[in-house]
Structure 1
Amino acid sequence: MKIVIAGGGKVGSVLCAELTSQKHDVMLIETNETIFDQLMSRYDLSGVIGNAASYEIQQEVGINKTDIFIAVTDTDEINIIASILAKSLGARYTVARVRNPEYSQHAHEVSESLGIDLMINPEQEAAKTISHMIKFPTVVHAQKFMSSDVELLEVVVKADSPLENVTMADFKDKFGDLLVCAIVRSDQVIVPNANDTLKAGDRIDVLGSQNDIYKFYQQIRTERHRLKSVMIIGGGRLTYYLLNYLREFHLDIKVIEWKEEAAEQLSAAFPEVEVILGDSTEQELLLQEGVGNYDVFVSLLGIDEENIMASLFAQQQGVSKVITKVNREALFSLFKNFGLDTIITPKRLIANSILRFVRSLGNPSVSYLEELYRLSDNQAELIQFKVNNSSKVLNTPLEQLNLKDNTLIAYILRDHKTIIPSGQDRLEVGDHVIIMTNAATMDDIDDILR
């Protein structure tokens, strides 16, 4: 497909890397000549320097022959205007990143009325993910499949925990109707079979219905008291969205923000939250505000290094759950050495949302890609397809399908029922199927076959 990306910043650069690696014809529109030259030299793409909301620039990139136009500049209004213009000039699909809460609160209505096919908000997506992490504080990551009752938990196997030395053959008997779809051991992703045994230090991705996942969590959780308090440092847009999601949890929440205007706005919007004006990078202030007495610490400052240092300090003070925002993925390796394993990367979340949309347009006559989640530092994917009547995988016992290596049919969702399939099960038209794979170019259910 021909894809035009407007904006070469954090999200734009990730999209350039991912989409060119998948052999799409990618063009970039960027106003900053230095950023433009860097991306041109790094990836196999073409483009122009200029304003994406300009009629002349869009004509120059051949917008009338474009399959997908993606606007991810730093300015909401440019993204919206550029997307409207691109659609009017002939682009088949348009995607716009919109961060302002005033727009995002009515994203669906706005996108429909303006002809934008997908409006996305990185801070809102990140806030939703963080709220889920707080809901399951013992786990590293939690994710709900939005169109079903299925949830995914990423868990670290601790020494002497109920998970250590459990074989996959015994896992169901011990923990219920769940599936371990991936084991990460020594930076390698293993698609487990019945003979594999969990070891201390493993990271495992567990898939199951909402009820079964909750029961599993109760069996493995390390904290036995209900979470009551959260300290958040940084009072930007992400914090605004997060506080909205946390309202239903009825927690004691404290936010520390150094900009007076931002602190006042948060205090006015969330009168039930204690907002402190101060520099949260000062350890003395964190001690003064009782950081060690909080159950969860969330670091949402704008600078990665400050987030890392604040999170390490909170961990040293005994906070049991520390969540850290990091934008530069090159820093991820540091977390393994420091013991910080719950991290959030807004640009990666939003890039994955856009990639899911792009790949959902691949082959709708065979299946429709409904959801896509990256696992294990992007080494594997969980993909949900809806199967149509022309698929090659229909009405054949799963044990007879010639599947690609490291590919697993994890779940079947049929008539509002969840099925962990056996070799005798068959896929039917209308099934929603969750696949675990390390093949990064699986856009269709038939791609599971050799």
Structure 2
Amino acid sequence: MSLKVIIVGAGEVGYYLADRLSLEGHDIVVVDSDEDKIKRLERSLNVMAIKGSGASAKVLERAGVKEADLFVAVTNSDEINLIACLLAREYGVPRKVARVRSEDYLSPESPLNEQKLGIDLIINPARVLADEIVRLSEITEATEWAEFARGKVILLGYQVKENCPLVGMSLADLKELRALYDFVIVAIIRNNETIIPSGSDVIRKGDKIFIIAKKKDISAVEHLLGFTTKPPSRVFIIGGGQVGAFIARQMEAKNIEVYLVEKDAARCEELAEFLKHTVVLNLDGLDAQELLKEGIDRSDLVITVTDVDTVNILGALLAKHHGAKKCIVRIDRPDFIPLLSNLGIDVALSPRLLAANQILRFVRRGQILSVATFLGSEAEVVEMVVPDTEFFRKGRKLQEIEFPKGAIVGAIYRAGEVIIPKGETTLYPGDDLIIFAKREALPKLEKLFSSS
């Protein structure tokens, strides 16, 4: 079903959402006060762009707020986002989403929280990024992570290194390994191109591979494929802003030895009050000599989350050069990300795109239960329900179904059980499917699994 969507804010998050949702056939209107951003939208995307403030009732009426099904406010101003959503509420828009940085609106005890403001979803990008980094830190070699089917199915991304036993093997060669544990390689990213592989595709050094497996089998599958899982015991965080503080708080609760590096002395005092078991260091994150004195070379994980991309990249490169085992880097400019794996950086995450993906998960309608999008890939992983239609009612084997090109079923969740499918596996109404699909295949998938 096509939705009328108004997006206030044409920065990275707004642009990304407009791009994704317009490709799915939704009617998109974007509002922004910056003329350059409006021109960029008009040049690049098939959307309506309106110059003006999202906090103006007149501007929103021009955008068609009275007919909107969904309203998303993602400017850099908390106040504009909240006022815009309050206006949308008064115009009767059924679903409203706001990006908000301040913690004041996130607590259930706050006098102005989601419920009291009448906003369906408030997203804090710093918290979303911190949560994702903590999850990824627990899986030593994984560069991407997502869970589906109520946490029973995991999708992991790995960079294939020279010493990986998979190098030179075709997917057909992996059949013997798959006989030991159920897993499936659903995608290979090579030279920034996403490949949905067949049996003849060969894994090469430098590839990024995506694996879907049962959560209970992940450790065994990783061991089988030459990857390792060992949560870190010693972590350095460079950047004591909101993100760094959130990460340190979660990690010290897991009894991890945490060192938090921040160059602003006043902020260090605040952090020392906030964090009870973290060593707060008043240092420059690029001062290699001082960091070596503190033992950054012996760390299992270095996380760089300052507000400056170049500092995050250089800090991670310095740490890796001096012996840090793994680095996770915050990047605000997603166009940098494809370059970073070539530099030896393990994981790069964009807070804006993570926030956008969380909004996409909320927006999805129809048969899509959840979605995960990975940076550097033109694909998404979607969880969809097999509808109770005449086509599926008596069951359909996977090999009988004409799936769109660029889509592969990685797992099926049925009555509490996970099935890693083969061609002869039968689908029944009510099955949850975890599907890895290129972006252009998504509209066809939605049509295939539509209940109408």
TM-score w.r.t. the length of structure 1 is: 0.89
In the alignment of these two chains, the number of paired residues is: 443
Question: What's the offset of the Cα at 1:293?
Answer: 1.8
Give the aligned partner of residue 383 of structure 1.
382
Aligned-residue CA RMSD (Å)? 2.7
Give the aligned partner of residue 346 of structure 1.
351
Give the aligned partner of residue 396 of structure 1.
396
Residues 430-449 of structure 1, C-alpha deviations (whole Å, 9 max, x = no match): 22111111144615755458
Unmatched 5+ stretches in structure 1 = none
Give the aligned partner of residue 145 of structure 2.
142
Cα distance change on mapping 1:388 and 1:87 into 2, 3 Å: farther
Cα distance change on mapping 1:321 and 1:435 into 2, 3 Å: same
The farther-off stretch of 163-172 and 115-124 is: 163-172
User: What amino acid sits opposite 1:326 in the alignment?
Assistant: I
Say which SS state the counterpart of residue 442 (structure 1) adopts.
helix
What is the CA–CA distance in structure 2 between the aligned matches of 1:11 and 1:427, rounded to whole Å?
A: 36
Task: Note if contact 1:407-1:448 (Cα within 8 Å) is conserved in structure 2.
Answer: no
Residues 14-44 of structure 1, C-alpha deviations (whole Å, 9 max, x = no match): 2233334444332222233444444444434
User: What amino acid sits opposite 1:29 in the alignment?
Assistant: V
Question: What's the offset of the Cα at 1:299?
Answer: 0.7
Question: What's the offset of the Cα at 1:274?
Answer: 0.9
Question: What's the offset of the Cα at 1:147?
Answer: 2.8
Say which SS state the counterpart of residue 150 (structure 2) adopts.
coil
User: What amino acid sits opposite 2:317 in the alignment?
Assistant: L
Give the aligned partner of residue 241 of structure 2.
236
Give the aligned partner of residue 80 of structure 2.
78
Question: What's the offset of the Cα at 1:170?
Answer: 4.8
User: What amino acid sits opposite 1:277 in the alignment?
Assistant: N
Say which SS state the counterpart of residue 390 (structure 1) adopts.
coil
Cα distance change on mapping 1:42 and 1:195 into 2, 3 Å: closer
User: In percent, how many aligned pairs have the same letter?
Assistant: 28
Give the aligned partner of residue 17 of structure 2.
15
What is the CA–CA distance in structure 1 between the aligned matches of 2:443 and 2:192, rounded to whole Å?
A: 25
Give the aligned partner of residue 114 of structure 2.
111
Cα distance change on mapping 1:27 and 1:283 into 2, 3 Å: same
Cα distance change on mapping 1:60 and 1:195 into 2, 3 Å: closer
After TM superposition, the structure 1 = structure 2 runs for residues 317-356 of structure 1, keeping only pairs within 5 Å, are: 317-356=322-361
Matched, 1:417 2:410: no
Matched, 1:283 2:288: yes
Give the aligned partner of residue 32 of structure 1.
34
What is the CA–CA distance in structure 2 between the aligned matches of 1:150 and 1:128, rounded to whole Å?
A: 19
What is the CA–CA distance in structure 2 between the aligned matches of 1:403 and 1:429, rounded to whole Å?
A: 17
Give the aligned partner of residue 407 of structure 2.
407
Say which SS state the counterpart of residue 335 (structure 1) adopts.
helix
What is the CA–CA distance in structure 2 between the aligned matches of 1:115 and 1:348, rounded to whole Å?
A: 25
Task: Note if contact 1:129-1:143 (Cα within 8 Å) is conserved in structure 2.
Answer: no
Of 180, 192, 203, which aligns to 1:198?
203
User: What amino acid sits opposite 1:425 in the alignment?
Assistant: T
Cα distance change on mapping 1:105 and 1:431 into 2, 3 Å: farther
User: What amino acid sits opposite 2:409 in the alignment?
Assistant: I
Task: Note if contact 1:136-1:217 (Cα within 8 Å) is conserved in structure 2.
Answer: no
Task: Note if contact 2:260-2:279 (Cα within 8 Å) is conserved in structure 1.
Answer: yes
Task: Note if contact 1:398-1:425 (Cα within 8 Å) is conserved in structure 2.
Answer: yes
The farther-off stretch of 422-431 and 228-237 is: 422-431
Residues 365-417 of structure 1, C-alpha deviations (whole Å, 9 max, x = no match): xx2x1111224613222110123323744521221111222221211101111
User: What amino acid sits opposite 2:140 in the alignment?
Assistant: P
TM-score w.r.t. the length of structure 2 is: 0.89
Task: Note if contact 1:120-1:350 (Cα within 8 Å) is conserved in structure 2.
Answer: yes
Task: Note if contact 2:192-2:377 (Cα within 8 Å) is conserved in structure 1.
Answer: no
Say which SS state the counterpart of residue 60 (structure 1) adopts.
helix
User: What amino acid sits opposite 1:314 in the alignment?
Assistant: A
What is the CA–CA distance in structure 2 between the aligned matches of 1:398 and 1:34, rounded to whole Å?
A: 48
What is the CA–CA distance in structure 2 between the aligned matches of 1:149 and 1:110, rounded to whole Å?
A: 32
Question: What's the offset of the Cα at 1:316?
Answer: 0.6
Cα distance change on mapping 1:223 and 1:46 into 2, 3 Å: closer
Cα distance change on mapping 1:188 and 1:334 into 2, 3 Å: closer
Give the aligned partner of residue 60 of structure 1.
62
Give the aligned partner of residue 308 of structure 2.
303
Matched, 1:157 2:156: no
Task: Note if contact 1:167-1:197 (Cα within 8 Å) is conserved in structure 2.
Answer: yes
Say which SS state the counterpart of residue 214 (structure 1) adopts.
helix
What is the CA–CA distance in structure 1 between the aligned matches of 2:440 and 2:351, rounded to whole Å?
A: 20
Of 2, 5, 12, which aligns to 1:3?
5
Cα distance change on mapping 1:392 and 1:246 into 2, 3 Å: farther
Say which SS state the counterpart of residue 272 (structure 2) adopts.
helix
Task: Note if contact 1:189-1:376 (Cα within 8 Å) is conserved in structure 2.
Answer: no
Task: Note if contact 1:392-1:446 (Cα within 8 Å) is conserved in structure 2.
Answer: no
What is the CA–CA distance in structure 2 between the aligned matches of 1:391 and 1:6, rounded to whole Å?
A: 41
Cα distance change on mapping 1:112 and 1:218 into 2, 3 Å: farther
The farther-off stretch of 414-423 and 190-199 is: 190-199
Question: What's the offset of the Cα at 1:226?
Answer: 5.8
User: What amino acid sits opposite 2:14 in the alignment?
Assistant: G
Unmatched 5+ stretches in structure 2 = none
Give the aligned partner of residue 263 of structure 1.
268
The farther-off stretch of 37-46 and 255-264 is: 37-46
Of 75, 84, 103, which aligns to 1:101?
103
Cα distance change on mapping 1:258 and 1:57 into 2, 3 Å: same
Task: Note if contact 2:141-2:229 (Cα within 8 Å) is conserved in structure 1.
Answer: no
Task: Note if contact 1:138-1:221 (Cα within 8 Å) is conserved in structure 2.
Answer: no
Cα distance change on mapping 1:306 and 1:392 into 2, 3 Å: farther
Matched, 1:127 2:130: yes
The farther-off stretch of 111-120 and 319-328 is: 111-120
Residues 85-136 of structure 1, C-alpha deviations (whole Å, 9 max, x = no match): 2022022321111222332344999434433222222222211221122101
User: What amino acid sits opposite 1:19 in the alignment?
Assistant: L
Say which SS state the counterpart of residue 396 (structure 2) adopts.
coil
